[in-house]
Every structure is written in C-alpha cells, then in structure tokens.
C-alpha cells in the first residue's frame, strides 16, 4: 500500500519536472475549454445499464483486440491515448479516448488517424498536449487534476477549468477514476492493465519492440506465475490503482474486474474477457431504479473521490464513512429533466 509520503514525493517530483509546461498547456487548452463551454456533468450517470471496457496499451491488449471487436456492440470502450491507432487499425472505434500527459506525441500517436475521430469523444487533462484537442474532430472535454500539492489551484485559475478529478498517476488509471466517479456503469472491465511485460512481449501492445530490452527496473512474478519485467513508474501506478480499488471502489460496490490476463494487480478481481463479453447485455431503467438513482446517488451533490492513494485514503474512508469533497453541484430538477430525456 502506498504511503502518503510516496504519493507526495511523486507529485512534487513531477511538478518540478513538468510544472512550466503544464502551465503553458493549461493556458492553451483553457481557451478551447472556455470557447466550447462543455462540462463533464454531461457524463453523469450515462453509463447506467451498460458495461465499459477500459483499455490500456499493455501487451495483453494484443490478445484481447479481436474479442473487443467481436463484441463491440455490447459494450462501451474507453482507451488511453496511445491505443487510438491500434484500435482503429483493428476495426474498433472507441467511444472515448483519454489523454493526460503534456508530451504525448501527437504526430506519432494521433495524427495518422485524426480524420477518423469525428465520432469519438476526447477527454483531455487541461495540462495535456494541446495539439490533440486543437485537431480532434469529435467533442472535446477537459478535466483538471486535484492532487496533494494543490496544483488544481494553479491550473484551474490559468484555464478556467474547475472540472476536477483526483490525480491518478497515469492515463489508464484516469479512465478508471473518470468512469467510476461520474458515469456509473453496471460493470467495468480492465483490458491491457498488465503493468508488466515478459521478455517475449512488446512494451506497448503492437508497438516498441526495442523498449522491452531496456525498460527493466525490476523483476516480478505475474498472476500466471511467469517472471516479468517492471519499471518504477508501472509499479507506482499499479499500487495506486490497487489502493484506489481497496479504499474507494470495493466499499462502494463497484463491479470492476481485471480481464488483462498476466497482471500484477493484487486486489482487483480477475476474470476471463471472452466469458464476460459473451454474457453482457444492455438493460433499461425501470421506474424504481430511476427513483433510486436520483435519491441515493445524485440528489443535489456529486461526491468525488479523494486525490490521495495509500493508507491515508483508507483511513479517511474508515473514519468519515465517505471520502472526498463536493466538487459538482447538479440540482434535482436538472437531473429529472436529463433522466426523462434519456429514457423517453
């Protein structure tokens, strides 16, 4: 379990390295945010009744892509930025693409497929590489990371974007945070969340064969009992997601399973992707559920998760029975209108 000092140290180190670029990107992205006038409140409870596959670009994605294509109509799909091209090349148009990093290469990871993004939503951190949002053909939404050194106060003021989500250490984790805290799917399937790679695997699915020879900061054993390589960053982000699941998702009853195969996530339950996809069906709200969702989940406020992982997150949950702070106010009448429109 991550300690508070580990998370704090990671945040400070990242800010020292990237702080100036983050501020520059926040100013550029902030102009589009203010012009488009889009809010992540548009996503509240839009996943209810459905299943989503959260897709990373770890090696196991190569074996999963054919199944995702086969059962595409049964699920929503959200992918990390670097998985966009691999999805499109394999006949999959995702619902959402997430970008969080300030230097994710647009020319390599996006530009060749940019003309096919018209029907895809881009969800970008306000400090992410702004070239993605500037060229994206479909709708673009922005979020601002809330972390334990209060960088949201800097980037929120620069950009005007106060659509805040907990900082989660990498883009794959940010998908999990966003869809669980806002969209309320019935079930969440993790695909390509290995956090490790064996000697015969690419570092990224379909990509970077050479990286597997030098991105080796340690050796671990995955849940298949195989020796696998890991980097310091992969280990940190894996531990963060495990802690987030223990402290935030499991106590609140989220149905989230890791279908990645060879992984080192210790606490998130594992499942076979094909078996899960075969039995997925979208369902309709009934009248009782409409009332339940309105009264118990939304009401006047949306409670967001704490930005900190590790023991401090779990302690907060145990002591206060809930975690986080109110960051969105969404009044009952607005929700009733949205629900009536969605179920008409």
Instruction: Name the β-bridge partners of 96.
Output: 78, 121
Ranges 76-80, 171-175, 297-301, 337-341: which has the least confidence: 297-301
- Going by pLDDT thresholds of 50, 70 and 90, the confidence category of residue 152 is confident
| Pairing label, strands 227-230, 218-221 | antiparallel
- The answer, yes or no, to whether residue 182 has pLDDT greater than 70, is yes
Whether residue 308 is predicted with pLDDT greater than 90 in this model: the reply is: no
- Digit-coded pLDDT (tens) for 246-287: 988 998 889 999 999 888 888 999 999 999 999 888 877 777
Q: Dihedral sign, CA of 12, 219, 265, 190?
A: positive
| CB crowding 174-203: b at 16 or more within 10 Å, else e | bbbbbbbbbbbbbbbbbbbbbbbbeeebbb
Distance from C-alpha of 344 to C-alpha of 339, rounded to nearest angstrom? 8
| Of 12 and 109, more confident | 109
Q: Where are the domains of the chain?
A: 4-342
Q: Residues 218, 198, 246, 15: is their CA dihedral positive or negative? A: positive
- Sequence-distant (6+) residues with CB within 8 A of 148 are 4, 7, 8, 11, 307, 308
Q: What strands lie across the sheet with 256-258, from one edge to the other?
A: 164-166, 140-146, 121-125, 96-99, 76-80, 51-55, 187-191, 256-258
**Residue 82: pLDDT over 60:** yes
Contacts (Cβ under 8 Å, ≥6 apart) of 45 = 182, 183, 184, 293, 297, 298
Residues 28-55: pLDDT tens digits?
Answer: 999 999 999 998 888 877 888 899 999 9
The whole-number pLDDT of residue 331 equals 34
Q: Residue 294's pLDDT is what?
A: 57
- What's the pLDDT at 275? 93
Report residue 121 as tokens.
């939503």
CA 46 to chain centre: 16
pLDDT above 50 (res 319): no
Q: Which two tokens stand for residue 178?
A: 């966003």
Kind and range of the H or E element at 8? helix 4-36
Half-sphere exposure of 24 (CA within 13 A, CB side): 8
Residue with tokens 């989660």: 168
Q: With beta carbons less than 8 A apart as the criterion, state whether 287 and 281 touch.
A: no
**Binning pLDDT at 50, 70 and 90, where does residue 146 land?**
confident
Spatial separation of the C-alpha atoms in residues 287 and 260, rounded to whole Å: 36
- ∠ CA 36-40-44, nearest 5°, is 140
Give the count of beta carbons closer than 10 Å to the beta carbon of residue 22.
22
Distance CA 95, CA 239 (A): 27
What CA–CA distances, in Å, run from 320 to 84, 150, 221?
A: 40, 22, 36
């Amino acid at each position: 379990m991550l300690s508070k000092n580990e998370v704090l140290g990671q945040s400070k180190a990242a800010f020292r390295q990237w702080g100036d670029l983050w501020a520059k990107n926040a100013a550029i992205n902030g102009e589009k945010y203010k012009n488009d006038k889009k809010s992540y409140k548009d996503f509240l409870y839009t996943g209810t009744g459905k299943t989503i596959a959260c897709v990373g670009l770890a090696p196991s994605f190569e074996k999963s892509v054919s199944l995702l294509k086969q059962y595409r109509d049964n699920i929503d799909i959200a992918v990390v930025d670097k998985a966009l091209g691999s999805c499109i090349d394999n006949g999959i148009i995702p619902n959402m693409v997430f970008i969080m990093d300030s230097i994710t290469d647009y020319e390599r990871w996006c530009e060749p497929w940019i003309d096919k993004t018209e029907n895809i939503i881009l969800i970008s951190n306000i400090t992410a590489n702004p070239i993605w949002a500037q060229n994206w053909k479909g709708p673009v939404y922005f979020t601002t990371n809330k972390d334990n050194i209060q960088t949201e106060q800097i980037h929120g003021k620069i950009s005007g974007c106060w659509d805040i989500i907990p900082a989660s250490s990498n883009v794959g984790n940010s998908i999990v945070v966003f869809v669980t805290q806002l969209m309320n799917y019935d079930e969440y399937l993790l695909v390509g969340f290995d956090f490790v790679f064996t000697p015969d695997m690419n570092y990224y699915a379909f990509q970077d064969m050479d990286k597997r020879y030098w991105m080796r900061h340690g050796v671990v054993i995955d849940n298949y009992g195989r020796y696998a390589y890991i980097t310091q960053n992969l280990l940190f982000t894996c531990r963060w997601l495990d802690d987030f699941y223990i402290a935030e998702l499991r106590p609140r009853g989220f149905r989230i399973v890791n279908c990645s195969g060879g992984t080192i996530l210790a606490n998130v339950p594992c499942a076979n992707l094909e078996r899960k996809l075969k039995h997925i069906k979208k369902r309709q709200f009934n009248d009782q559920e409409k009332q339940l969702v309105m009264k118990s989940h939304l009401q006047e406020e949306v409670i967001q998760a704490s930005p900190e992982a590790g023991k401090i997150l779990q302690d907060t949950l145990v002591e206060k029975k809930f975690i986080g702070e109110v960051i969105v106010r969404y009044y009952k009448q607005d929700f009733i209108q949205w629900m009536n429109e969605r179920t008409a």
